[in-house]
Amino acid sequence: MNRIALLLAGTAMLAAPGFAHADEAADAEGRVAIVVTGKADGYRPEDANAIKTPTPLVDVPQTVTVLTREQLDDQAVSQLGEALRYVPGVVLGQGEGHRDQVTLRGQNTTADFYLDGLRDDTQYYRSLYNIERVEVLKGANALLFGRGGGGGVINRVSKTPDLAGTKGAVAASVDTFGAFSVAGDLNQPLGEKLGARLNATYEEFDNHRQDFGGRFIGVNPTLAFEPDADTRIELSYNYDDDERTTDRGVPSINGAPLTGYDDTFFGSSALNVARVTAHIAQARIDHQLTDNLTFNVIGQYSHTDKYYGNLFAASAVNPATQTVTLSGYSSANVRESWIGQANLVWEGRTGGIGHTLLAGLEASSQETTGLRSDPVFSGSNVVTLAKRLTVPSAIFAAPSRSTLSKVDTWSAYVQDQIELAPFLQVVAGVRYDEFRISATDRINATSAARTDGKWSPRAGIILKPRKEMSLYASYTRSFLPQSGDQFASIDATQATLAPEQFENIEAGFKWDVNPGLAFTGAVYRLTRDNSRFNNPVTGLPELSGRTRAQGIELSLAGRILPQWQASLGYALQEGEVRSQTTAAPSGRKLAQLPHHQVSAWTRYDLTRKFGLGLGITHQSSSYTTISNAVRLPAFTRVDAAAFYTLSDRVSLQLNVENLFDADYFPSAHTDNNISTGEPLNARLTIRAKF
């Protein structure tokens, strides 16, 4: 009833005159002009920073989805996972309640995340307060990004200083659970050639789950220096401090999620805590050598200190006794990473043939220390099912695992996008990675190491029947060493195993219907070799040999009419194990890969001051894990929004999540760690700019 009352109160506030959308400017007569910043028109950008070349998206032979700042603001999302639910082909994972985790084209990952094109693979939740846009590149992406990225990568593009003038924005929001956030964005020139930008936020978490809470602090100062018209230097530092309840959802019963206990916490408020402090410093130089030759050099240092503890349901509910078994562990990790990258881009012609040539070098070093402890319960860890569980007290014992791992890589890559004729382009390139990992088990005093040298090719052909239209086919390949995508440890067995390999074959079309609206479609087949699954009896990893995912993806993004914007997507996908092992017999379906996935978000401005938004996400049923023993039911969630303008500086918006209060299970980590969807929730946001 409290949520309904607040929702009605928020609607009443919208009826009052005068609040404006923060991304619009009104003249003296109240007419609103859409303000377009960067290379984007509303929900539709022209290019993607992660491509590393100034290539229009219509000429990129792979599926790319970009979530612009305007779309993120309209949806009132502040976390990366919230934004990705509107990207077809991306399925959100639970991440054990303490990290971002996604499945892209059937490939589960905790590491294929990037910040401004540089690897950001620590396991934590990523805020969007300082992000200009989010880019999702589908398919194997080793040529541009190196190891991993078998199903795709997710790149966040940071906000940077604008030397043209002073400007700023503030926003505050609160929802019906009591969660709230405040954020500020200040851009200030410090002279003709120097400028600064400061983004900061404070957020407190709450939701429908018992004992859940937490807070996030983020601060990101950035400096930009332009000594001449051809050079730009940027320095930035990002500080994240996140603390929240580690919540791993509910168990299963009879092959389906446990229902009727959506609020019940299968953990301990004292032990289920996740804390992470992250420091990321970046330096970047961009320089125009000649009219058609540019280079950039980027360096990044990151240091993350993370702890999380959790108790969780380790078994399905016993229907006869109505009991469930609890287990848990704690983990403490410190990771320090250095990455350096240099890119040279040449746009020119040799005879009648055009070229966009990319050549690059990258080197990185990463060191991770880790501790893991198991729980000791004061009583039985088998508890009786109830709306609020009686959980025995527990402590985490002395570390059962202590590891030190080090990863060093160096890479070189070259790619040329060749225009043979106005209607025909060819993309060809290759990357070489040398990957070295060494790890020490500090409890058993053992160590292991492995070095791999891998070539990752990319090839594509693009037919252009019209300038604004393309048909393409492409082949890409990527690899992932066998110690897992976090490389926290490696044992003697893993050191003998060849890396996993991903091959992506894709064909598609792209059509810029008008300068602000893009329609794209693709069909793909992604084959993964040397993949591993855990044996359900021994718990040890086994090579499954081969899995295959294939599907169709469609999207429409941009401005359909001057007052109507939309971001629509559909994915038809399937995946299965293609070889025989005890862990995953042939024919098993890939985990968390719904056959149908629909995402739709649209905003329509009914008047110059008032607009409405509507969002729909749908997923058909899918399996929680490769065991195929538990199935997540299909679900459809509807969101809505209302926008009202007061002036060119102040706006108000109301976002309603799960408008029809659907009961659903959006994600899982294991067969018995299944997240429950939030019920009806309204968020009121006030924005102001100056």
pLDDT tens, residue by residue, 370-403:
999 999 999 999 999 999 999 999 999 999 999 9
Question: 3-class DSSP state for residue 36?
Answer: coil
Query: What pLDDT is stored for residue 462 in this prediction?
Result: 98
Instruction: Classify each residue of 164-180 as buried b or exposed e, where b means 16 or more C-beta atoms within 10 Å of its C-beta.
Output: eeeeebebebbbbbebb
Residue 29 has pLDDT above 70, yes or no: no
Residue 346 has pLDDT above 80, yes or no: yes
Determine phi and psi for 7, rounding to 5 degrees. -60, -45
Residue 527 has pLDDT above 90, yes or no: yes
- What mean pLDDT do residues 323-340 have? 96
**C-alpha dist (Å) from residue 252 to 179, 241, 550, 595:** 29, 33, 28, 21
What region, left, alpha or beta, does residue 344 occupy, with left being phi > 0 and alpha being psi -120 to 50 degrees? beta
Instruction: Write the DSSP string, 342-388.
Output: EEEEEEEEETTEEEEEEEEEEEEEEEEEEEEE-EEESS-SEEE--SS
Question: 266, 250 in Cβ contact below 8 A?
Answer: yes
Query: What pLDDT is stored for residue 27 in this prediction?
Result: 36
Query: What pLDDT is stored for residue 537 in this prediction?
Result: 52
Residue 185 has pLDDT above 60, yes or no: yes
Per the structure, the count of domains in the chain is: 1
Q: For the segment 163-178, what is each residue's pLDDT rounded down to a tens digit?
A: 999 999 999 999 999 9
More confident residue, 585 or 24: 585
Q: Find the angle CA(290)-CA(291)-CA(297) to the nearest 5 degrees.
A: 55
Question: 246, 272 in Cβ contact below 8 A?
Answer: yes
Q: Quick one: pLDDT band at residue 584, thresholds 50, 70, 90?
A: confident
Query: What pLDDT is stored for residue 4 in this prediction?
Result: 36
- What mean pLDDT do residues 173-202 have? 97
Q: Quick one: pLDDT band at residue 535, thresholds 50, 70, 90?
A: low
Query: What pLDDT is stored for residue 206 in this prediction?
Result: 97
**Spatial separation of the C-alpha atoms in residues 74 and 67, rounded to whole Å:** 11
Residue 9 has pLDDT above 70, yes or no: no
Question: 3-class DSSP state for residue 132?
Answer: strand
The range of the structural domain enclosing residue 161 comes to: 2-689
Amino acid at residue number 66:
V
Query: What pLDDT is stored for residue 667 in this prediction?
Result: 95
Q: Quick one: pLDDT band at residue 13, thresholds 50, 70, 90?
A: very low
**Spatial separation of the C-alpha atoms in residues 648 and 568, rounded to whole Å:** 29
Contacts of 191 (CB under 8 A, 6+ apart): none
Query: What pLDDT is stored for residue 19 in this prediction?
Result: 27
Query: What pLDDT is stored for residue 311 in this prediction?
Result: 96
Read off the CATH number of the domain in which 618 is found.
2.40.170.20
Query: What pLDDT is stored for residue 37 in this prediction?
Result: 35
Query: What pLDDT is stored for residue 362 in this prediction?
Result: 98
Provide the total of helices (H) and of strands (E) in the chain, helices listed first.
4, 45
Query: What pLDDT is stored for residue 114 in this prediction?
Result: 96
**Nearest CA-CA partner of 286 in 329, 365, 225:** 225
Determine phi and psi for 496, rounding to 5 degrees. -95, -5
Q: Quick one: pLDDT band at residue 343, thresholds 50, 70, 90?
A: very high
- What mean pLDDT do residues 619-648 have? 96
**C-alpha dist (Å) from residue 91 to 68, 288, 514, 597, 673:** 19, 40, 30, 9, 16
Determine phi and psi for 69, rounding to 5 degrees. -60, -35
- What mean pLDDT do residues 96-103 have? 95
Query: What pLDDT is stored for residue 20 in this prediction?
Result: 32
Contacts of 594 (CB under 8 A, 6+ apart): 91, 573, 619, 620, 621, 622, 634
pTM for the full model? 0.91
656-660's contacts with Cβ under 8 Å and 24+ in sequence apart are 656/7, 656/680, 656/681, 656/682, 656/683, 657/681, 657/682, 657/683
Residue 32 has pLDDT above 60, yes or no: no
Q: What percent of the chain has pLDDT over 70?
A: 92
- What mean pLDDT do residues 462-489 have? 91
**Spatial separation of the C-alpha atoms in residues 577 and 591, rounded to whole Å:** 10
Residue 132 has pLDDT above 60, yes or no: yes
- What mean pLDDT do residues 128-141 have? 94
Q: Quick one: pLDDT band at residue 530, thresholds 50, 70, 90?
A: confident
Question: 404, 444 in Cβ contact below 8 A?
Answer: no
- What mean pLDDT do residues 445-465 have? 94
Q: What percent of the chain has pLDDT over 90?
A: 84
Query: What pLDDT is stored for residue 688 in this prediction?
Result: 97
**3 state SS for 250-272:** ECEECCEECCCCCCCCCCCCCCC
Query: What pLDDT is stored for residue 540 in this prediction?
Result: 59
